Amino acid sequence: MTEAILEPDLPIIDPHHHLWDLRPVLGAFPEPLHSFLASIALTPYYTFNELLADATSGHNVIGTVFMECGAFYRAGAGDAEKVIGEIEYVNGVAAQSASGLYGSIRLCDAIIGHADLSLGDDARRVLEMLMDATPRFKGIRHAAAWDADPDVLGPPFHHPAGLYRDATFREGFRHLGALDLTFDAWLLEPQLDDLLDLARAFPDQPICLDHCGTPVGSASYRGKLPERFDTWATKMREIGKCENVSVKLGGLAMSFPGMPEQGPAAGLGSEELAAMWKPYIETCIEAFGPRRAMFESNYPVDKWGASYPVLWNAFKRLTAGASADEKRELYAGSAARFYGMEHLLA
């Protein structure tokens, strides 16, 4: 679907996208593919050219943040150290963009990698290796998404239950603050109390909660979004009281929330998507405020429900009544502060 670009001059820092080549591994999963894997199969190869095409498709994206996704790990390295390969690859993409040959946009200007915090104190060694790889490295994500129903997440995810409460995990987690690194959290709505407990235990650690806390509307949760909305909203308001936590406004076009349910590439217009997402986005902005909330593409995963131009149009419809200052925060300022990208706004 194509639409006229709304507010084409509004500067955007896209704080959450991936890069990968999953063609060699997709065939290893059973058919029919889980809906999440089906969404990935839409864009199994997403590297510099694909990202550049989306980010320059009409909206004024001035820079982006790469988010770890387990891609391009270093062959032959140990389990703890192989994650360095992802950072090395993405740093090359960032350097390619920074050459200026592709315009003023700065793709992957900040890089979020992965280190296994379940290593406890040994996680610091890996974190320091990531820091040595490039100054663009700003922090890590260690996802904890889990559900008792294995059909919710499907075969790619095997995070243990209660990970963010685990004592050894927290031994590793405490090194992030000592090294001035950020933390991105991804877990599902039924797990949000785990994130709240972690944020309260480490009140000085900057944490960004991905994907609006991932409300779930798939598998055994199918059709239950309306009845679970108040539970989700109550938890998000409580987390919003933690001044160290920011929230990413997006991820709702993934297969897990089921908004839209009929992906892939649902073909809905931005007005329909905005109406669907409005209660979630408005609740998050109310709970965290514009200075701790940032719109994200979560591309190419959210391609399940919307093209890149339509996705950002939907967001802009949702903020049509916001002030210019609020829009600056939601679309660029909050992300720039959290990930140390203020130079892009100078």
Tell me what pLDDT residue 33 has. 74
Q: How many domains does the chain have?
A: 1
134 in any annotated domain: yes
Span 282-288, mean pLDDT? 98
Which has the closest alpha carbon to 127: 146, 142, 114? 114
1 in any annotated domain: no
Tell me what pLDDT residue 30 has. 76
Give the model confidence (pLDDT) of 85-103 as tens digits: 999 999 999 999 999 999 9
Tell me what pLDDT residue 162 has. 98
Give the model confidence (pLDDT) of 5-17 as tens digits: 999 999 999 999 9
Residue 281 half-sphere exposure, CB side, CA atoms within 13 Å? 24
Tell me what pLDDT residue 112 has. 99
Tell me what pLDDT residue 261 has. 76
Give the model confidence (pLDDT) of 188-203 as tens digits: 999 999 999 999 999 9
Instruction: Compute the distance between CA of residue 122 and CA of residue 141 in angstroms, rounded to an integer.
Output: 17
What does each C-alpha distance from 216 to 44, 64, 99, 109, 267 come to in angstroms?
24, 27, 41, 31, 21
Range of the domain at 174: 11-345
Alpha helices of the chain — where are they, by DSSP H? 23-26, 35-41, 48-55, 84-98, 123-133, 150-153, 167-178, 192-201, 225-240, 270-288, 308-318, 324-328, 334-338
Residue 35: is it exposed, middle or buried by C-beta count within 10 angstroms (0-12/13-18/19+)?
A: buried
Residue 66 has pLDDT above 80, yes or no: yes
Instruction: Compute the distance between CA of residue 307 and CA of residue 292 in angstroms, rounded to an integer.
Output: 26
222 in any annotated domain: yes
Instruction: Supply the pTM of this predicted model.
Output: 0.96
5 in any annotated domain: no
Helices (H) and strands (E) in the chain, counts: 13, 10
Structure tokens that stand for 178 in this block: 């000592």
6 in any annotated domain: no
Tell me what pLDDT residue 305 has. 87
4 in any annotated domain: no
Give the model confidence (pLDDT) of 305-327 as tens digits: 889 999 999 999 999 999 999 99
Residue 123 has pLDDT above 90, yes or no: yes
Span 103-116, mean pLDDT? 98
Q: Which pLDDT band holds residue 266 (cuts at 50, 70, 90)? A: low
Q: Which pLDDT band holds residue 41 (cuts at 50, 70, 90)? A: confident
Domain harbouring 129, CATH code: 3.20.20.140
Tell me what pLDDT residue 263 has. 62
2 in any annotated domain: no
